[in-house]
Structure formats: C-alpha cells, structure tokens
Amino acid sequence: MQVQVNTHNGVEGREAMELWANEEVNAGLARFKDHVTRVEVHISDENSGKAGADDKRCVMEARVAHQHPAAVTHHAPTVDEAFRGALRKLKHLLESTLDRRNDHRDRDSVRRDIDAAPVIDETPAA
C-alpha cells in the first residue's frame, strides 16, 4: 500500500509529519493492505496563521482495487486530532464497504439451483 502525504504551507514540520503519517496509515489500515493500493493524505490549516476552533483539516482518500476512491474529511483544533479522526473514519468506511462486499458472497442464496433440489418420488406404493 502506497501512502502519499501532502501538507499545505500552514503546516509545520513537513518531513517529520510525512514519516509519522506514513507509519500511522500503514499501521491503522494494515488489514486492508491487500485491497487498498494507495492512500492520499492532505493536511491543511484552513486559517493559516490565525487561531480558530477546528481550523486543521485532514482529507484521506483510499484507492481500493476495482472500486471508486473512498474519501473522508475531519476537522479538529490540532493536526494530530484531525489526522487521527480522518484515519478512524477511513478505517470505518473501509470496514463497512469491504466487509459488506465480502459478506454477501459467503451466504446461501434464496434462489436455489433446481437441479440441486432433492427429488421426491411421487409414484404410488403398490
């Protein structure tokens, strides 16, 4: 699974953040590594130099094989909280999407194969 981290100008510690985010995404989404080909992380400070409530934003987009990309957004007062919130949302989204896709394949259909149905002998007994 490839992780691409993009930070905007208002976010400090770009290189350290990219390493940290890469490790966290790989650890948090480890069970989906066979399904997810790439995760893009976009971290930004919406108010840049000004202080404000919930002004840090993290957008995560997961590229799932043979499906449309799945994206989530989380706003928080700190970059760490925004990142962890987005990771939690993405994990939940992937769980529900992939588990639902895999779950229905393990169930029996209500439509049975007619050839596989038991044959009832209706000949009268003599």
- Give the CATH number for residue 75: 3.30.160.100
Q: Is 29 helix (H, G, I), strand (E, B) or coil?
A: coil
Query: Which pTM does this prediction carry?
Result: 0.74
What pLDDT does 80 receive? 92
Asked if residue 83 belongs to a domain, the reply is yes
Asked if residue 125 belongs to a domain, the reply is no
Asked if residue 114 belongs to a domain, the reply is no
Split into its structural domains, the chain has a count of 1
Q: What is the pLDDT of residues 15-65, one digit of tens each?
A: 888 899 999 999 999 999 999 999 999 998 887 766 667 788 999 999 998
Question: ∠ at Cα 17 (13, 19), nearest 5°?
Answer: 130
Shortest CA distance to 26 belongs to which of 75, 60, 66?
60
Asked if residue 51 belongs to a domain, the reply is yes
Asked if residue 124 belongs to a domain, the reply is no
Residue 19: give the domain boundaries: 2-100
Asked if residue 64 belongs to a domain, the reply is yes
